[in-house]
């Protein structure tokens, strides 16, 4: 109960919730100690599972029922740490989700929402992205990734995430999150035309083209704008329109294979990464905040508790049924 109370935004509020709902009178420090102790055990189990997967000592048995669609998604959040250097205090927590779904093809006249997740697993770490990729891979394997009929990796176009997709999930079909794609289109419109009707018209026109699968035409439009404004200087500011346009030429060219949205919708696959973003938001409510200062170890252990609580795959209940044998008093 003390661990599950971590759905609150702090150890103090978790302690208050434990008292209000269950009559458990404990201090915030006790909730923290219990959470970190359980998190430590979960961390050990996760690392052992990842090591076993990476060394080939485990192999997921074939599922009883075929997995029609397995979706992998990853993104990063922010955690403020106790680092003495103020510029290095904020660090990224890397989050991955794995879920299975039944493809739900687009229907005429109905807004496309994509398939609903059936069983969702969450993993998170403060470790570097390469290590995060290992953890996500191990969890996906345990979920039967090898036997999935269709495998999807959906994310934004960040280079750090792309590197893990290419390293760990090369056989998965890449889908660039639709919201991020149109967000970049909007940035191009403003950079090229400034706020106003002209930018709005350009944005709406090219958004429609992208939705209908005319990605190459959209890229040519962006490149034309970039050529017109000229090459950005070496030390151009991030807000320099020339830099924004040049960067987006690269962005859309690099992520070209992930923007065949008509085919994705026809096949009933997801085109949005809202599930990973919602998960990061939930985790962020617990670990992110200017008033929260974590040790990296404490953040890692707390994240293990939060990820299992927010998974819908039975791992949290299974952990307690197995009996961790931890004294909490």
152 and 233 together in one domain: no
List strand residue ranges (DSSP E) for the chain, in order. 67-76, 79-80, 90-91, 94-101, 120-125, 148-155, 173-176
CATH number at residue 163: 3.30.420
pLDDT score for 329: 46
Number of domains, the chain: 2
160 and 196 together in one domain: no
164 and 276 together in one domain: yes
Determine how many CB atoms are found less than 10 A away from the CB of residue 224.
Answer: 13
Contact 173, 271 (CB under 8 A): no
| Residue 18 resides in a domain | no
171 and 212 together in one domain: no
What are the phi and psi torsion angles at 152 (to 5°)? -120, 140
Q: What is the pLDDT of residues 172-195, one digit of tens each?
A: 999 999 999 999 999 999 999 999
pLDDT score for 289: 85
**What are the angstrom distances between the C-alpha of 57 and each of 51, 52, 103, 140, 144?**
8, 5, 32, 15, 15
pLDDT score for 100: 97
d(CA 31, CA 256): 48
Helix (H) or strand (E) holding 31: helix 28-54
Which residues of the chain fall below pLDDT 50?
329
119 and 219 together in one domain: no
Give me the residues paired with residue 158 across strands.
none
Query: What is the Cα gyration radius of the chain?
Result: 22
Q: DSSP for 266-327?
A: HHT-----HHHHHHHHHHHHHH--TT--B-HHHHHHHHHHHHHHH--SSHHHHHHHH-----
| Residue 44 resides in a domain | no
105 and 69 together in one domain: yes
Structural domain for 82, as ranges: 64-176+272-293
Within its chain, how far is the Cα of 27 from the centroid?
33
**What are the angstrom distances between the C-alpha of 193 and each of 227, 243, 255?**
14, 14, 24
206 Cβ neighbours under 8 A, 6+ residues apart: 185, 188, 189, 218, 221, 222
d(CA 311, CA 304): 11
242 Cβ neighbours under 8 A, 6+ residues apart: 226, 229, 230, 231, 232, 233, 236
| pTM > 0.85: yes or no | yes
In sign, the C-alpha dihedral spanning 183, 188, 194, 200 is negative
146 and 220 together in one domain: no
171 and 195 together in one domain: no
Give me the residues paired with residue 110 across strands.
none
d(CA 220, CA 210): 12
What are the phi and psi torsion angles at 170 (to 5°)? -65, -25
Among residues 243, 263, 283, the one where a domain terminates is 263
């Amino acid at each position: 109960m003390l661990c599950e109370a971590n759905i609150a935004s702090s150890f103090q509020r978790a302690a208050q919730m434990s008292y209000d709902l269950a009559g458990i009178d404990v201090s915030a420090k006790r909730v923290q100690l219990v959470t970190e102790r359980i998190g430590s055990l979960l961390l050990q189990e996760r690392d052992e599972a990842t090591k076993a997967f990476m060394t080939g000592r485990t192999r997921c048995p074939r599922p009883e029922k075929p997995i029609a669609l397995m979706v992998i998604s990853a993104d990063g959040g922010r955690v403020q740490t106790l680092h003495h250097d103020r510029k290095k205090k904020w660090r990224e927590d890397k989050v991955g989700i794995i879920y299975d779904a039944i493809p739900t093809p687009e229907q005429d006249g109905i807004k496309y929402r994509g398939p609903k997740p059936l069983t969702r697993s969450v993993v998170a770490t403060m470790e570097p992205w390469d290590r995060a990729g290992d953890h996500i891979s191990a969890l996906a394997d345990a979920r039967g990734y090898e036997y999935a009929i269709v495998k999807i990796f959906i994310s934004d176009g960040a280079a750090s995430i792309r590197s893990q997709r290419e390293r760990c999930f090369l056989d998965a079909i890449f889908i660039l999150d639709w919201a991020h794609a149109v967000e970049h289109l909007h940035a191009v419109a403003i950079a090229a035309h400034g706020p106003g009707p002209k930018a709005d018209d350009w944005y709406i026109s090219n958004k429609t083209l992208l939705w209908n699968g005319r990605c190459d035409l959209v890229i040519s439009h962006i490149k034309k704008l970039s050529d017109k404004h000229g090459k950005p200087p070496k030390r151009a500011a991030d807000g320099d329109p020339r830099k924004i346009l040049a960067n987006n030429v690269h962005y859309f060219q690099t992520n070209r294979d992930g923007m065949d949205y008509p085919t994705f919708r026809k096949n009933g696959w997801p085109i949005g990464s809202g599930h990973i973003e919602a998960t990061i938001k939930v985790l962020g409510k617990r670990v992110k905040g200017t008033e929260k200062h974590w040790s990296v170890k404490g953040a890692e252990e707390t994240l293990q508790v939060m990820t299992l609580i927010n998974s819908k795959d039975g791992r949290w209940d299974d952990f307690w049924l197995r009996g961790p044998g931890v004294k909490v008093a």
